[in-house]
Amino acid sequence: MAQMIVTESATRSPGISYLGSNCAVCTTRRVCEAKSLLNELPDNIQMQLFQPRIIKTGKHLFHAGDELTTFYIIKSGAFKTYLYSESGDEFITGFHMPGEVLGADGLGDHKHQLTAIALDSSAVCAISIKKLESEVKRYSSNWLMKQACLGGHRENQTFFVSIRNNTSAYARIAYFLLKQSHDHKVRGYSGKEFKLDMKRNDIANYLGLTIETVSRTLHCLQEDKMINVNGRYIGINDMHGLRATAGMRSAPERLSA
């Protein structure tokens, strides 16, 4: 089995040493989902509105049922959102990277529908809802309305409809790796070598699979020389093959055996 060599391009610096609230020099600005809002607000308002915070690994931003008081824009690190089923089982609804907004799930009735937790040491910009609503009225921004319409479910609508119901574990994991590749690439990181922020059991939960199936499928993808796996580090060798695999409707025989 080939040993993956972890290069600098496969790692992402948490970048939490710099927490300045000056949006003009923020390294996340290019992919920030609040960019259209920033373009409408004067610099002095931005400084007042966007308050940087460090969130340690395993710490929550909010819990389902909490009152919506704050939006969070991820500056660095990663988060997952989840809810609990009626039987008390955790159900992961998404993984979130720098630039994404967390908290829009609570805009309907001003109570969070989801719980958000840091997967790694992370930094966020916290935006007070009351202050935001005040500034939106002053500057006639439609950004808040867009967040309400999106409802914090950008990625997951397409995923759950077209991918999660697919019976092929091979296809689900291939799609998941391609999504991770794309998310890293658009943020200026390597799309071919990257670290997964989430654990195997979280991936299994999100994809509706068992952890054994996830591990076995990753192993098979590596045997097929599409990827290299070294712990949480992934190297993609065959992007075209991985895309073809993501469209499979059934698993290869060795996986279904």
| pLDDT higher at 190 or 26 | 190
Q: Tell me if 199 sits within 8 A of 144, measured CB to CB.
A: no
Percent of the chain at pLDDT exceeding 90 = 53
| pLDDT higher at 28 or 203 | 203
| Residue 214 confidence class, pLDDT cut points 50, 70, 90 | very high
- Signed CA dihedral, 231, 174, 177, 204: sign only: negative
| 21 has pLDDT over 60 | no
Worst-scoring range by mean pLDDT, 39-48, 55-64, 207-216, 219-228?
39-48
User: 103 — alpha (psi -120 to 50), left (phi > 0) or beta?
Assistant: left
Rounded to two decimals, the pTM is 0.83
pLDDT at 92: 92
| Residue 254 confidence class, pLDDT cut points 50, 70, 90 | very low
| 242 has pLDDT over 80 | yes
152-167 confidence digits (pLDDT tens): 555 555 555 566 665 6
Q: Tell me if 109 sits within 8 A of 41, measured CB to CB.
A: no
**Average pLDDT in the 26-34 region?**
83
pLDDT at 4: 53
| Residue 14 confidence class, pLDDT cut points 50, 70, 90 | very low
Cα separation, 201 vs 161, whole angstroms: 22
| 114 has pLDDT over 90 | yes
Cα separation, 198 vs 95, whole angstroms: 8
Complete domains list, the chain, with CATH: 15-154 (2.60.120.10), 159-256 (1.10.10.10)
Query: pLDDT averaged over the chain?
Result: 82
